[in-house]
Amino acid sequence: MFTKAEEKKSVAEMVNSSNVIAKETTIKGDIITSGNIRIEGTVEGTLNSKTKIVIGESALLEGNIETKEAEIAGRIIGTVKCNEILFLKKTAVIDGDIYTKKLIIENGAVFNGLCKMNEMEAGDPVSGGLKNGVVKEEKVGTRKGKEVVAG
Protein backbone atom coordinates (compact mmCIF):
# COMPACT_ATOMS: atom_id res chain seq x y z
CA MET A 1 0.00 0.00 0.00
CA PHE A 2 2.22 2.92 1.27
CA THR A 3 5.97 2.80 1.68
CA LYS A 4 7.50 4.12 4.91
CA ALA A 5 8.65 7.33 3.16
CA GLU A 6 5.17 8.00 1.72
CA GLU A 7 3.58 7.32 5.11
CA LYS A 8 5.96 9.77 6.87
CA LYS A 9 5.26 12.41 4.19
CA SER A 10 1.51 11.96 4.66
CA VAL A 11 1.81 12.36 8.44
CA ALA A 12 4.02 15.46 8.02
CA GLU A 13 1.45 17.04 5.66
CA MET A 14 -1.33 16.32 8.14
CA VAL A 15 0.59 17.90 11.04
CA ASN A 16 1.49 20.99 8.98
CA SER A 17 -2.06 21.49 7.73
CA SER A 18 -4.09 24.52 8.76
CA ASN A 19 -7.72 24.63 9.87
CA VAL A 20 -9.80 27.82 9.74
CA ILE A 21 -13.02 28.65 11.59
CA ALA A 22 -14.51 31.52 9.56
CA LYS A 23 -15.72 34.87 10.93
CA GLU A 24 -19.46 34.14 11.08
CA THR A 25 -19.11 30.51 12.22
CA THR A 26 -20.03 29.30 15.72
CA ILE A 27 -18.86 25.96 17.07
CA LYS A 28 -20.05 24.45 20.35
CA GLY A 29 -17.76 21.65 21.46
CA ASP A 30 -14.11 20.75 21.87
CA ILE A 31 -11.64 21.00 18.99
CA ILE A 32 -8.55 18.78 18.98
CA THR A 33 -6.08 18.96 16.09
CA SER A 34 -2.52 17.95 15.27
CA GLY A 35 -2.15 20.85 12.85
CA ASN A 36 -2.40 24.63 13.05
CA ILE A 37 -5.79 26.24 13.61
CA ARG A 38 -7.02 29.80 13.08
CA ILE A 39 -10.23 31.00 14.72
CA GLU A 40 -12.04 34.06 13.33
CA GLY A 41 -15.52 33.10 14.55
CA THR A 42 -16.88 31.89 17.90
CA VAL A 43 -15.94 28.68 19.72
CA GLU A 44 -17.56 27.50 22.94
CA GLY A 45 -15.34 24.69 24.20
CA THR A 46 -11.76 23.57 24.63
CA LEU A 47 -9.25 24.19 21.84
CA ASN A 48 -6.24 21.86 21.71
CA SER A 49 -3.47 21.86 19.08
CA LYS A 50 -0.07 20.20 19.04
CA THR A 51 1.36 23.05 16.95
CA LYS A 52 -0.08 26.60 16.75
CA ILE A 53 -3.38 28.34 17.49
CA VAL A 54 -4.22 31.79 16.10
CA ILE A 55 -7.19 33.67 17.56
CA GLY A 56 -8.09 36.43 15.09
CA GLU A 57 -9.27 39.93 15.96
CA SER A 58 -12.95 39.07 15.38
CA ALA A 59 -12.79 35.79 17.34
CA LEU A 60 -14.37 34.86 20.68
CA LEU A 61 -13.36 31.71 22.54
CA GLU A 62 -15.30 30.69 25.63
CA GLY A 63 -13.15 27.84 26.87
CA ASN A 64 -9.57 26.80 27.47
CA ILE A 65 -6.62 26.66 25.07
CA GLU A 66 -3.78 24.16 25.24
CA THR A 67 -1.08 24.33 22.58
CA LYS A 68 2.62 24.61 21.81
CA GLU A 69 2.38 28.18 20.45
CA ALA A 70 -0.42 30.77 20.26
CA GLU A 71 -1.05 34.20 18.78
CA ILE A 72 -4.05 36.01 20.26
CA ALA A 73 -5.73 39.08 18.76
CA GLY A 74 -9.35 38.38 19.82
CA ARG A 75 -11.14 37.63 23.10
CA ILE A 76 -10.72 34.55 25.30
CA ILE A 77 -12.73 33.71 28.39
CA GLY A 78 -10.79 30.82 29.90
CA THR A 79 -7.33 29.48 30.64
CA VAL A 80 -4.51 29.72 28.07
CA LYS A 81 -1.70 27.16 28.34
CA CYS A 82 1.23 27.34 25.88
CA ASN A 83 4.24 25.07 26.16
CA GLU A 84 6.42 27.50 24.17
CA ILE A 85 5.46 31.07 23.08
CA LEU A 86 2.30 33.10 23.69
CA PHE A 87 1.99 36.31 21.65
CA LEU A 88 -0.70 38.82 22.65
CA LYS A 89 -1.54 41.35 19.92
CA LYS A 90 -2.72 44.85 20.87
CA THR A 91 -6.40 43.89 20.42
CA ALA A 92 -6.18 40.76 22.62
CA VAL A 93 -8.42 40.46 25.68
CA ILE A 94 -8.00 37.46 27.98
CA ASP A 95 -10.24 36.90 30.98
CA GLY A 96 -8.49 33.96 32.60
CA ASP A 97 -5.15 32.59 33.67
CA ILE A 98 -2.09 32.29 31.42
CA TYR A 99 0.53 29.53 31.68
CA THR A 100 3.43 29.79 29.23
CA LYS A 101 7.18 29.48 28.85
CA LYS A 102 7.62 32.77 26.90
CA LEU A 103 5.24 35.73 26.72
CA ILE A 104 5.22 38.63 24.23
CA ILE A 105 2.67 41.40 24.82
CA GLU A 106 1.96 44.31 22.47
CA ASN A 107 0.99 47.65 24.00
CA GLY A 108 -2.80 47.67 24.43
CA ALA A 109 -3.33 43.95 25.07
CA VAL A 110 -5.36 43.14 28.19
CA PHE A 111 -5.44 40.12 30.44
CA ASN A 112 -7.23 39.66 33.74
CA GLY A 113 -5.91 36.69 35.67
CA LEU A 114 -2.82 34.90 36.90
CA CYS A 115 0.25 34.66 34.69
CA LYS A 116 2.67 31.82 35.39
CA MET A 117 5.83 31.46 33.34
CA ASN A 118 8.14 28.47 33.59
CA GLU A 119 9.02 25.27 31.79
CA MET A 120 6.06 22.93 31.96
CA GLU A 121 6.52 19.20 31.98
CA ALA A 122 4.39 17.15 29.60
CA GLY A 123 1.28 16.10 31.44
CA ASP A 124 1.63 18.79 34.13
CA PRO A 125 -1.80 19.87 35.29
CA VAL A 126 -2.61 23.54 34.99
CA SER A 127 -2.50 24.77 38.58
CA GLY A 128 -2.18 28.02 40.46
CA GLY A 129 0.72 28.91 42.69
CA LEU A 130 4.24 30.07 42.13
CA LYS A 131 7.42 28.11 41.50
CA ASN A 132 9.87 30.67 42.94
CA GLY A 133 7.69 32.81 45.15
CA VAL A 134 5.11 32.93 47.88
CA VAL A 135 1.59 34.29 47.77
CA LYS A 136 0.80 36.35 50.85
CA GLU A 137 -2.78 37.45 51.60
CA GLU A 138 -3.43 40.83 53.16
CA LYS A 139 -6.63 42.58 54.25
CA VAL A 140 -7.36 45.97 52.76
CA GLY A 141 -10.46 47.42 54.43
CA THR A 142 -13.26 45.01 53.63
CA ARG A 143 -11.51 43.72 50.49
CA LYS A 144 -8.93 40.95 50.38
CA GLY A 145 -5.93 41.28 48.09
CA LYS A 146 -2.92 39.14 47.22
CA GLU A 147 0.65 40.32 47.05
CA VAL A 148 3.30 38.32 45.24
CA VAL A 149 6.64 38.16 47.01
CA ALA A 150 9.45 36.78 44.83
CA GLY A 151 12.21 34.89 46.59
pLDDT computed for residue 92 by the predictor? 97
- pLDDT exceeds cutoff 80 at 106: yes
pLDDT computed for residue 18 by the predictor? 82
The C-alpha atoms of residue 125 and residue 127 are separated, in whole angstroms, by 6
Count of CA atoms in the C-beta half-sphere (13 A) of 91: 9
6 conformational bin, left if phi > 0, alpha if psi -120 to 50, beta if neither: alpha
pLDDT computed for residue 122 by the predictor? 45
pLDDT computed for residue 121 by the predictor? 47
Top-confidence residue, 133 or 2: 2
- pLDDT exceeds cutoff 90 at 126: no
- 83 confidence band (pLDDT: 50, 70, 90): very high
pTM greater than the 0.75 cutoff: no
